[in-house]
Structure 1
Amino acid sequence: MDNVYLSHNNILSSLGFDSFTVIDSIEKGNCGLSVYNDNKVLHVPFCSSRIDPRELQNRYEILGPKTEHTRLEKMMLVSLYDTISKSNVTLDERTGLLISTTKGNIDVLEEESSFPEYRAYLSELGDQIQDFFGFHDKAIIVSNACVSGILTIAVAKRLIRQGRYDRIFVVAGDLVTQFILSGFNAFQALSLESCRPYCNSRTGINIGEVAASVLVTKNPSELAPESVQIMGEASCNDANHISGPSRTGEGLYRCIENAVLQSGMEKNDIDYISGHGTATMFNDEMESIAFDRAGLSRTPVNSLKSYFGHTLGASGLLESIIGMHSLHRNTLFASLGFKELGVSRPMNIITETTKKDINVFLKTASGFGGSNTAVIFKKV
């Protein structure tokens, strides 16, 4: 059976417009979150990460587009263009396109938008990206709440293993919008401070925006220096509640167990966990229970939400890309702002960015509707 790898990649975020700039910034302990007072999107101040619109427009214009694109489409196009260019891959019939997002072009439904309402359909977003680059097949959209980004990697691996494609480009993105902020504000979940996942003094979630892209391939000749192999993956639904995770961590626990089983590895081979870590009470507690049940309470764990906020359907892909760079830099990145454990089960939170010989990491994600996904990656 073919091995499948993550290869060339790009991150577009408040910390930079390419992966290496972003990783350097994280290693220095920089935070991409800021407090905004923008009545167009929320009637109260909020803490968030947002992509510089001027820099985005400059990068977009270099592409020489022939049609008008939304802000999310511009983000995805700029990110994916960088990844495709670095890969030197031909976009033939053996090359697929997967798109991950939670809400897509939801901002076109706002009053000030100049785009027609049909641009809010996720299929239209897929068509715009496919047409721009000239992919042979229509884009496959993965939109399963906040596990979308990491689930898309799992779906790409499955499609390649099934022989449908030799390689797949994955691009993910979500926006900070009125719809999303007002929803989390209604939950009383937004924090005006930078989020502190798993910390006893955490005050809630931040929403961020990011675009990220990666080449998933079975061909060793198409690998980047920072490539990792996808060893095992699993996804399941805990069927607990529309917005609340299982109190027993059942769904995430089963994902971890199945991903480990598929990988053929032992749990003590896992050098660290890149957790979901939203800094909300129910999510952080559920993760601590699931990790403890899986026998991973001593494994180093971080959450990267403290750098970008929760970037929704892009978060899993973003954090997987950072994880692959973490392995090749032999560096464990700190969870910013963590002070004191605020969950019921023991967790080994990474409090300082540390150099360490590491080869394998586990990425987990959980989302609304009871969705859970876990993927294990190994350094190439």
Structure 2
Amino acid sequence: MNSTYLSHNNIISSLGFESETVVDKISKEISGLQLVDDPKIVDRPFYSSMIPADALQEAFTKLDIQERHTRLEKMMLVSLDKTLSTSGLELTDRVGLIISTTKGNIDVLDSESSFPKERAYLSELAQRLKNHFRFKTEPLVLSNACVSGILAIAVAKRLIHQDKFDHVFVVAGDLVTKFIISGFNAFQALSEEPCRPYCKTRSGINIGEVAASVLVTKDKNVLVPESVEILGEASCNDANHISGPSRTGEGLYRSVTKALEQTRLSHKNIDYISAHGTATMFNDEMESIAFNRAGLGEIPLNSLKGYFGHTLGASGLLETIIGMHALHRNTLFASKGFRELGVSEPLKIIQQTTSKEIHTFLKTASGFGGSNTAAVFRKIQFI
């Protein structure tokens, strides 16, 4: 079977509007989380990473688009424009587009929004991206809770292997809104301080916003220095609960083991794990069980939620792009906020950013409804 790669990429976030800029700050353990006090969102201060409105507008203005767009559309347009332009690819009928999001333009349902309610349909979001960039093919929308970002990469790979496309652009994004924050607040899952994944004193989740994009391709001629090969991927829904993860980690365990089977590598060949790590009591505990069931308890592991918070449907893509750069830089990034292990099974949490020769990483994500996805990536050796 032909190989599939991740190539040109971009991140739009509170830490910057270029992947390299964002990764530079993570390497210095700089977090984008800040205390937000906005009664229009929630009636108490909360920690979040939010994209500065003025910086976003400045970047969007450079695109010289006359039509009005929502905040999320602007984020996605800016990110995808950067990835498209650097790739230099012509948008033929062999080039696909996948949009990954959980809630899309959910903010247009607010009473003060000036956009029509129909704009909240995910198909509307997809069509606006397609029309602006003039894709020849119909876009696919992938909205499967918080595994959406990494699942979009897996679907892109499968479409290429099925010879539907030669290249697929994936763009992901979600917002910090009253709807999102109030929902997690109702779960009593919001932390009143920066989140601390896997830590004994963790107290809940932070929510962040980001847009990210990447080119998935079978063409070695359009690769970049940080490109990686997708070795294997798998998804499993354990249907445990509408919001609570499986107590045995069954879905994540099966996703990880199936993804590893595709690679024909041993779990010992994984150099590090870019885990989901939301800093909620149940998620982190579930992951510790699943990873140990899969024999991965001694593999270096981090969660990037301490830098961005949980960016929902964009998190899997965001964290995969950072993983690409981690392999390229031979660097294990610290799991920010971690102090003392607070789960029942052993995990080798990366506590300090460290230089190390690394070639492979495992990316995992878990979400509401029992969804779980895992993917294995390998560094490309350029001659």
- TM-score, normalised to structure 2's length? 0.99
Match of 2:231, SS? strand
CA distance in 2, matches of 1:59, 1:16: 11
| Structure 1 residue 111, shift from structure 2 partner | 1.1
CA distance in 2, matches of 1:35, 1:75: 22
Amino acid of the structure 2 residue aligned with 1:281: M
| Structure 1 residue 54, shift from structure 2 partner | 0.4
- The percent identity for this pair of structures is 67
| Structure 2 counterpart of 1:335 | 335
Match of 2:204, SS? coil
CA distance in 1, matches of 2:202, 2:104: 29
| Structure 2 counterpart of 1:44 | 44
| Structure 2 counterpart of 1:280 | 280
| Structure 1 residue 138, shift from structure 2 partner | 1.6
CA distance in 2, matches of 1:319, 1:100: 14
Amino acid of the structure 1 residue aligned with 2:340: E
| Structure 1 counterpart of 2:359 | 359
Amino acid of the structure 1 residue aligned with 2:251: G
- CA deviations 1:160-202 (Å, max 9, x no partner) are 0000000000000000000000000000000121100000011
CA distance in 2, matches of 1:199, 1:145: 24
Pairing 1:205-354 to 2, within 5 Å after superposition = 205-354=205-354
CA distance in 2, matches of 1:67, 1:165: 30
Match of 1:291, SS? helix
* C-alpha RMSD of the superposition: 0.5
Match of 1:145, SS? coil
| Structure 1 counterpart of 2:93 | 93
Match of 1:42, SS? coil
- TM-score, normalised to structure 1's length? 1.00
Amino acid of the structure 2 residue aligned with 1:63: L
| Structure 1 residue 337, shift from structure 2 partner | 1.4
CA distance in 2, matches of 1:166, 1:66: 31
| Structure 2 counterpart of 1:196 | 196
Amino acid of the structure 1 residue aligned with 2:316: G
Pairing 1:16-55 to 2, within 5 Å after superposition = 16-55=16-55
| Structure 1 residue 370, shift from structure 2 partner | 0.2
- CA deviations 1:87-130 (Å, max 9, x no partner) are 00111110000000000000000011100000000000000100
1:373 lines up with 2:373 in the alignment? yes
| Structure 1 residue 43, shift from structure 2 partner | 1.2
| Structure 1 residue 2, shift from structure 2 partner | 1.3
Paired residues, number? 380
Match of 2:86, SS? helix
Pairing 1:55-134 to 2, within 5 Å after superposition = 55-134=55-134
CA distance in 2, matches of 1:114, 1:10: 29
- CA deviations 1:6-43 (Å, max 9, x no partner) are 00000000000000000000001101000111011111
1:11 lines up with 2:23 in the alignment? no
CA distance in 2, matches of 1:191, 1:21: 27
Stretches (4+) displaced over 4 A:
none
Amino acid of the structure 2 residue aligned with 1:184: F
Amino acid of the structure 2 residue aligned with 1:301: L
Match of 2:119, SS? helix
- CA deviations 1:215-274 (Å, max 9, x no partner) are 000000011111000000000101100000100000000001100001111111100000
CA distance in 1, matches of 2:233, 2:79: 25
CA distance in 1, matches of 2:167, 2:206: 34
- CA deviations 1:265-302 (Å, max 9, x no partner) are 11111000000000000000000000000000000000
Gaps of 5+ in 2: none
Amino acid of the structure 1 residue aligned with 2:167: R
Match of 1:150, SS? helix
| Structure 1 counterpart of 2:143 | 143
CA distance in 1, matches of 2:189, 2:253: 25
CA distance in 1, matches of 2:84, 2:149: 18
Gaps of 5+ in 1: none
CA distance in 1, matches of 2:24, 2:36: 25
Amino acid of the structure 1 residue aligned with 2:299: T
CA distance in 2, matches of 1:65, 1:263: 43
CA distance in 2, matches of 1:49, 1:358: 29
Match of 2:10, SS? strand
| Structure 1 residue 66, shift from structure 2 partner | 2.5
Match of 1:251, SS? helix
Match of 2:147, SS? helix
CA distance in 1, matches of 2:20, 2:193: 27
CA distance in 1, matches of 2:139, 2:54: 28
Match of 1:212, SS? strand
